[in-house]
Structure 1
Amino acid sequence: MNLTQQTMLLTGGGSGIGLALAEHLHAAGNTILICGRDAAKLQAAAERLPGLRTLVCDVAQAAERQRLFEWATTECPELSVLLNNAGIQRTVNVVETTESWADTAAEIAINLEAPIHLTLLFIGYWHARQAAAPVIINVSSGLGFVPMARVPVYSATKAALHSFTQSLRQQLAGSPAQVIEIIPPAVHTELGGTDHSFGVPLAEYAADVMQQLAAGHPEIAYGFSAKASQASRSELDAMFKQMNG
């Protein structure tokens, strides 16, 4: 993948992995657009990265995704890279939960509906413009291969996103479009509001992702996620028992 002189949209770019990648890609000389739900975080990112374009947007809502698409293509008609990174992770005890369905629906919408919807919007846009080499990057998770039982909805959506990405890559195989999957392990971020201090340091992880993007890898995995994404069924079962025991 060409990592310079491109125009890229990153969802969930105000913090965590999204912001770290935005910083690297901005430093490489790309035009970067990001969206997120936290206006203060977006403003802080814009102040640190000159020329960064931001939009406060909740990708859980279909109308907001449409608004994001229209904003991005109006701001930068030449946009050629979509990086679907936005995600939420909630701890859910399916026996004891008293939450409303809306909470679960929002997690599914952000993690799965949003990347599918945005992908379809941009594929249509690029096809109509006969874009030279568009790129779709979906951020899934090692938990899509080995689920963590205490985050069942998150794990399920990431498994589904991996499946969608595989099908997308096959359908677009004869086109100029490129489909990439980033498969993070646990990374030291604030995802889910839980303690991820045991995870890979964010700077270390983002630097590795950039190296693998530059090398042209269609699947970018690291540490636990590299092992999980290549494991046999018996190995996956053993990893599941160890992680959830």
Structure 2
Amino acid sequence: MILNDRTILLTGGSNGIGRALALRFAELGNTVIALGRDETRLAEVSALSPRIHARQCDLEDAAQRVELAEWVVKEHPDLDVIFNNAAVQYRFDVTQPIDLVKAQQQLEINLLAPLHLASLLVDHLATRPKPAIVNTTSALAFTPLVEIGVYSATKAALHSLSISMRYQLRDRGIDVIEVLPPKVDTTIGAELRDDPNSTQGGMPVPELVRQAVAGLESGEQEILIGLSAQAKVDPEAIFHRLNNENTH
């Protein structure tokens, strides 16, 4: 994948991995349209580079996704990459009545939004040279972490959809690429920790971005990072390792 002089629509671009990706893509000479819900964080990330343009959007809202697609084609007709990175993560416990709001939010943002947004923009992308759709999934696409079972399931579903999208779009010249991080040191899943302002630990964000960008530049379709490679090969062993580590 060419990673200079592109126009990249990046969801979840105001925090964590997305913020770091926005800055790195800008450094490589791309125009980045960073999406997020928090206007303060968006203003902060857009101030990092004149190549980063912020756009407030709640991807949980289907109507806002439609409005976004119409806006980006009009205001950024050179759009040639969609990077579906936004996600939310909450605790899962089927032994208790589930929180439907949180479950539905994960399904909407983590799974339906990437699918919907891609479907709204494929006709435009097909007119561009070497267009691409990039989906961020997870090592949990191959084996779940029970404590965040719904989140894990959305990543497994997005992995499956990425394969289907790749097949359906193969004759339209649109590459479909999947980035599969391990646990990364961000604030996602804050409700799982005693201090909601702490990070979850894991791979440092700069290292994740380095490996993701290297995989994109080398043309990999599945960019398996850290534990993802092991989880794909031996999901049962990784399942027991992950869930035994999280039962104390």
* Fold equivalence (TM over 0.5): yes
Partner residue, 1:243: 242
Partner residue, 1:36: 36
Q: Does 1:109 align with 2:102?
A: no
| Whole-angstrom CA distance in 2 between matches of 1:24 and 1:94 | 39
Partner residue, 1:61: 61
Superposition map of 1:51-200 within 5 A: 51-97=51-97, 99=99, 101-127=100-126, 130-193=127-190, 194=193, 196-200=199-203
- Choose which of 211, 224, 241 in structure 2 pairs with 1:208: 211
| Whole-angstrom CA distance in 1 between matches of 2:51 and 2:217 | 23
| Whole-angstrom CA distance in 2 between matches of 1:88 and 1:240 | 21
Structure 1: gaps (5+ residues): none
Three-state SS of the structure 2 residue aligned to 1:174 is: helix
Contact 2:133 2:176 in 1 (8 A): yes
Three-state SS of the structure 2 residue aligned to 1:59 is: coil
Letter in 2 for 1:42: L
- Tell me by how many angstroms 1:242 deviates: 1.9
- Tell me by how many angstroms 1:196 deviates: 4.5
- Tell me by how many angstroms 1:145 deviates: 0.5
Three-state SS of the structure 1 residue aligned to 2:47 is: helix
| Whole-angstrom CA distance in 1 between matches of 2:23 and 2:142 | 28
| Whole-angstrom CA distance in 2 between matches of 1:236 and 1:49 | 40
Structure 2: gaps (5+ residues): none
Tell me the TM-score normalized by structure 1.
0.93
Superposition map of 1:215-226 within 5 A: 215-226=218-229
Letter in 1 for 2:178: E
Q: Does 1:22 align with 2:19?
A: no
- Tell me by how many angstroms 1:95 deviates: 1.7
Greater alpha carbon shift after TM alignment, 159-168 vs 43-52? 43-52
Contact 2:188 2:200 in 1 (8 A): no
Matched residues, number: 238
Contact 2:88 2:189 in 1 (8 A): yes
The CA deviation string for residues 20-48 of structure 1, in whole angstroms up to 9 with x for no partner, is: 11111000111110110111100001111
The CA deviation string for residues 68-112 of structure 1, in whole angstroms up to 9 with x for no partner, is: 11221122111000000000011122223463x222111100000
- Tell me by how many angstroms 1:226 deviates: 1.7
Contact 1:141 1:183 in 2 (8 A): yes
Partner residue, 2:8: 8
CA RMSD of aligned residues (A): 1.4
Greater alpha carbon shift after TM alignment, 42-51 vs 150-159? 42-51
Three-state SS of the structure 1 residue aligned to 2:24 is: helix
Decide whether aligned partners of structure 1 residues 146 and 196 sit closer, same or farther in structure 2, where only a CA change above 3 A counts. Answer: farther
Contact 2:23 2:48 in 1 (8 A): no
